[in-house]
Amino acid sequence: MKKYLLLLAALVIFACNNRNKQEIYGLGATFPAPLYQKMFSEYEKQTEVNITYSAVGSGAGILQLQKGLIDFAASDIIPKDNEFKQDIVMIPTCLGAVAVAYNLPANPSLRLTPQLVAKIFLGKITTWNDPQLKKINPNIILPNHRIIVNHRSDRSGTSEIFHNFLNKTSKLCQAEQSENFVDKFIGLKATSNTAVAENIKQTPYSIGYLSSAYLSTHKLSAAAIKNASGDFVKPTPSSITKAAENITASEITSYITNSKQGYPISSFTWLLVPSNLHKYRPQKASQMINLFHWMITEGQSYAKQLQYAPLPQQIIPELKKKLNKIGE
């Protein structure tokens, strides 16, 4: 809590130093943070509207929006029906992937099934040369060494996507009978995608899940994961796009994990704002709507270079209608 109060205090100080600019404040997910930082920087150059965004996790973003302390939250978590006292609109901004990254000598090309992923993170498979891993990876040499697992400790949207995928695909996870069996993962805990990436990078023989956007910046390898069609696929902008190829406008507020095409741990990420935006932020509503319109149109051009996938074109008209409605 102290960390969030300090962040909010910093936002207030920043506002006092920039009184001539329109200020928009957001807080939340680390999953899309590299893209948001790029988008907001470019938007400010074009409009002189300043967007201050703090990537501290989806759960923290939802909490601060509940309290009315920020203009928008960013989340990879789909809010529960009773989580807000007012109606909330979810605006997808891009598609991303949760990668299963690892640090092994010589960086072999690793393949994993959903069942094997679940067994590793729940501590049922503990060594890299386990016969089950060797069977699915016959062409690489796996070391006789303990697997060091890394995962998130906070209420994380990245964990929520990972949980959703395993809950659909792993009988072991389904048998856990837990709303969030991520709490039962073994190993090292971290509070952000950056922290997980750094832990994996610095720890030989480790494995962990994180936004695929952090792979290139930390020079990490990612496993090819078996999808619903039986293909082993790595997370790339093209494989993420493939996973959402047949998505419809009615599915833009749901997870798209375990798709038959493309990378199976793919998902939208969302901005959350109250549906009565003009009452919630009467002096900023128009500027916020303009920003959101730009993010789902011109802003999409920055997605691929940062290892995200742009929104499917077939859903853009419906998103524009949604924005126009909350802008009324």
| Model confidence pLDDT, tens digit, residues 86-115 | 899 999 999 999 999 999 999 999 999 999
Neighbours of 80 (CB within 10 A): 8
CA 193 to chain centre: 9
| Distances 90 to 14, 50, 280 between C-alpha atoms, Å | 27, 22, 16
Say if 2-95+269-326 and 97-266 have the same CATH topology: yes
> Does 6 score more than 60 pLDDT?
no
> Does 14 score more than 80 pLDDT?
no
> Does 11 score more than 70 pLDDT?
no
Does the domain made of 97-266 have the CATH classification 3.40.50.10330? no
| Model confidence pLDDT, tens digit, residues 213-229 | 999 999 999 999 999 99
Q: How far apart are CA 166 and CA 171, in angstroms?
A: 8
| Model confidence pLDDT, tens digit, residues 24-66 | 999 999 999 999 999 999 999 999 899 999 999 999 999 999 9
CATH topology of domain 2-95+269-326: D-Maltodextrin-Binding Protein; domain 2 (3.40.190)
Q: How far apart are CA 172 and CA 122, in angstroms?
A: 9
Domain residue spans in the chain?
A: 2-95+269-326, 97-266
Q: Which residue has the tokens 């935006």?
A: 277
Q: How far apart are CA 291 and CA 295, in angstroms?
A: 6
